Chains A and B, each alone.
Chain A
Amino acid sequence: MAKQKEFVTSRQNRIKRSPGDACVQVLLYLFVGLFAISTVLPFLYVFAGSFATERELLERKFFVIPTEISLNAYRYIVKDGRVFLGLKNSVIVTLVGTIINMVFSTTLAYPLSRSDFRFRNGVTNMVIVTMLFSGGMVPGYILVTNILHLRDTYWALWLPGAMNAFNMIIIKNYFQGLPKELEEASHIDGASDLQIFVKVVLPLSKPVLASVSLFYAVGHWNAYFNSLLYISEVDMQVVQQILRNVMNQAQMSEMDETLDWGSQGAPPSKAVRMATTVVATVPILLVYPFIQKFFTQGVMVGAVKG
């Protein structure tokens, strides 16, 4: 009887009874909490440092609230202008790139989701092969630069990754999970396959389309390698390239800071680097709270076997 009672009592009571258990809980909170802090602290540190004066950066080792706020670093990068041009370019690359991705992914996903599509297995195998094997970096590079001549155009950033097989399969699986009756009913009403796709299937698939388009969009925004390969024109560089260049440059010419700068003293190159990092990071962090939900959702949809 006594034993029976023990199980009925709430979880809270059980913790009190077992000191070992409570200890484990404390350690868990401590560890998880510390890890969570470690993931945001670098951002806070760089954010604070970008507003700091040279003196403060030298005197205080670590701070997340500067005592004296200086906007000089930001005035410097506004005058320099490169990072903002990079942001603009990245917006263009991301928007157009995501639209292209979604067109290629959904149009392929729909026929593959239809069990009455005759070449379904053949095309699916074609997709699986691309997931398992690739021609590698060099043939791909020659294709883009010497056959298609896309160097220094954004098509070089849009076309080579126009469709991601994993994302396409996530969409395909979602299409397959939709109730067949809806499609069949529209079919009987005389709708063509295209009409069913555009007017029935796509509107019903908004959650997965939102998730996958955000996967693609964040991918475009963060991509660096393809622009490193194909974009050398300075005015066309995306924000990731610009950030990288500013970092390297600031490291090399740390001593000879720009001479003609400022009434309150030039911003330290460290603050300029930090401010550039902040400007490059802020856009993604601003949208993060809104897109987090879709990412979790998308990962879960994708987890339902491919």
Chain B
Amino acid sequence: MGKKKVNNELGIVVKKVPLWKDFMRHKWLYFLVIPGILYMLIFNYLPMAGIIMAFQDWKLRIRGHSGIFSSFIYSEWVGLANFEEFFTSKTVNFWNLLRNTLSISLLSLAFFFPAPIILSLMLNELRSMKFKRITQTMVYIPHFVSMVIVATLTQQLFNSSDGIVYEIFKALMGKNAPDVLTDPDLFNVLIVGQSMWKETGYGTIIFLAALSGVDMQLYEAARVDGAGRWRLMWHITLPSIRGTVVIMLIMKCGSILNTGFEQIYLMKNGINSSRAQVFDTYIYERGILSGQYSLSAAAGLFKSVVSLIMVLSANKIAKLCGESGFY
């Protein structure tokens, strides 16, 4: 090791150690890396290879052949037929899926995304440390309970037969009281509202961490220069969390078609399904419940590709704007 370093300092190119020698020297590093690589090959890369089924009329069992791999070899190749069906057929109703998915994710981008930023700015302004600590402990709680429990609580509070929140709505609005559990037009509000209740508090941690790193002298200096509360926030507080916000935004852009299966599946029912059917639930119902593997694999591939493009372009834009980006 020491020798190598000296060589580098002198600017002499170190001759690459032959692979077997490197292996003998660091054999444990090579062994340690094996489980992780195997895991990725089997559970990440093999399914990626499985995407070829989107271009086939893939059958689980093929007459005259046994074994799952022969399904991939002997299934009929159909080119882009699955995609054509996915985008154009009436039974799939692609535009409805897209509208439902976007109506949830755009609402989420507009309200759920800024919520933790706003809350952390508010917490940051609080003067009583005790109050701050207690409220932080409280608002983190919903993050730790499962989506099933959140769905369960929602059902018990909002249902129109005996839900307490529904009763409040009824007292306030009379007949127009919204039944959020079944009204298709309120489905996106329901989903985003739930997410905000569950994750806003926990989402503040990352911003509060960034805020606590700000040098207090900056604030003092700005105050001396006569800056008020809002100017302090605009010129010092907000710039200090900008990097974090950009990274979160990039990740959010990547998940624009990922509305999260669990939550939507749990809140979806027969009455609101016209607005609740999103790409994820559609893929689940067609691919896994009805066995239309190729069609739903095509839908999944569409989703993955769009997410990839979104992340990469958001990352690019962030870098063009002088931010550090995601990787």
Contacts and interface: CB of A to CB of B under 8 A. Distances in A.
Given A138-B288, A138-B297, A143-B46, A194 B125 contact: no
B32 A110 contact: yes
A62 B123 CA distance: 29
B300 A137 contact: yes
B218 to A, nearest CB: 15
B64 interface: no
Given A224-B146, A284-B145, A137 B287 contact: yes
Nearest to A145: B288
A99 interface: no
Contacts of A137: 261, 280, 283-284, 287-288, 296, 300
A153 interface: no
Interface string B288-322: 10000100110011011001100110000000000
B51 A225 contact: no
A303 B287 contact: no
Interface in B220-259: 223-224, 229, 244, 254
B205 A32 contact: no
A157 interface: no
A40 interface: yes
Secondary structure at the B interface, as helix, strand, loop or mixed, is helix
A141 B288 contact: yes
A116 B284 CA distance: 44
Contacts of A140: 43, 47, 50
Contacts of A11: 127
A209 B310 CA distance: 32
Q: Indicate the size class of the contact surface on chain B.
A: 35 or more
A128 interface: yes
A171 to B, nearest CB: 11
Given A133-B48, A163-B39, A46 B140 contact: no
Contacts of A224: 146-148, 262, 266
A103 B32 CA distance: 10
Interface in A282-303: 284-285, 288-289, 291-292, 295-296, 299-300, 303
Nearest to B200: A35
Contacts of A29: 126, 128, 131
B164 A45 contact: yes
A38 B311 contact: no
B50 A143 contact: yes
A134 to B, nearest CB: 6
Interface string B127-156: 110010011011111101111110111011
Interface in B1-38: 1, 19, 22, 26-33, 35-37
A134 B68 contact: no
Interface of B: 1, 19, 22, 26-33, 35-37, 39-40, 42-51, 53, 60, 68, 119, 122-123, 125-128, 131, 134-135, 137-142, 144-149, 151-153, 155-157, 162, 164, 167, 197, 200-202, 205-206, 209-210, 223-224, 229, 244, 254, 261-262, 265-266, 280, 283-284, 287-288, 293, 296-297, 300-301, 303-304, 307-308, 311-312, 324, 327
Interface of A: 7, 11, 15, 21, 24-25, 28-29, 31-33, 35-40, 42-43, 45-46, 49, 57, 61-62, 103-105, 107-108, 110-112, 114, 116-119, 123, 126-130, 132-143, 146-147, 159-160, 162-163, 168, 184, 187, 192-194, 197, 218, 221-225, 228-229, 240-241, 243-244, 247, 251, 270, 273-274, 277, 280-281, 284-285, 288-289, 291-292, 295-296, 299-300, 303, 305-306
